[in-house]
Amino acid sequence: MSQSHSLPAVFSQLDVSAGSSSHRAANPGGDQSELLRDVLAAQDRTNELLEELVAVMATSHKQRSQELHQWRSANPQLSDSCRQAAEVLSKVQVEYLERMTEEINDTAEELVDGEFVLNEFVDRFGPRLAHLNGVIQVLAQLSSIPSATSQADPA
């Protein structure tokens, strides 16, 4: 019987009466309004941070663009050579991609089923493709932008 008296005491500590929640029920709109103000303040702060981030990125991009323009102006022949080299390597890249896709299509089943074949394929084509892309990107950034007169004159 002592056990039956201790169990009700544990449950009697829970207050489920309507009186304890009447304070919250009286002003539900106030809590929501304050929560919405907090959300709005947080959103305003997020917008400020995003504006600062965009300003920093724009400044960095503008500085990099000016540096590239100065380099191109100081090295016009090298800039033209970089453009020509990038065009040649782009053609090489196209041919390389054609060979790679042919290899994929020819060995599709083995690539799917065999991990060794897939690893061998990635080892054979992956690094070369990554390095080629990197070189083309650098050359393209350093190259001069063709003027309208050089595009119109095919000679």
Convert the pLDDT of each residue in 110-137 to its tens digit.
888 888 888 999 999 999 999 999 999 9
- The answer to whether residue 9 is domain-embedded is no
Domain of 53 in residue numbering reads as 30-74
- Looking at the structure of the chain, the number of domains it has is 2
115-142 and 28-74 helices, crossing angle to 10°: 70
As a whole number, mean pLDDT of residues 83-107 equals 94
Tell whether 142 and 84 lie within a shared domain. Answer: yes
Of 23 and 119, more confident: 119
Q: Which pLDDT value is given to residue 27? A: 58
Tell whether 69 and 80 lie within a shared domain. Answer: no
58: which DSSP letter? H
In whole angstroms, how far apart are CA 139 and each of 61, 63, 81, 125? 18, 19, 9, 21
Tell whether 82 and 128 lie within a shared domain. Answer: yes
Q: Which of 57, 74, 91 is the last residue of a domain?
A: 74
Tell whether 60 and 50 lie within a shared domain. Answer: yes
**155: pLDDT strictly greater than 50:** no
Nearest-angstrom CA–CA distance, 117 and 100: 14
**153: pLDDT strictly greater than 50:** no
Give the percent of the chain with pLDDT over 70. 74
Choice among 17-26, 53-62, 118-127, 134-143 with the minimum mean pLDDT: 17-26
- The answer to whether residue 114 is domain-embedded is yes
**40: pLDDT strictly greater than 90:** yes
- The answer to whether residue 154 is domain-embedded is no
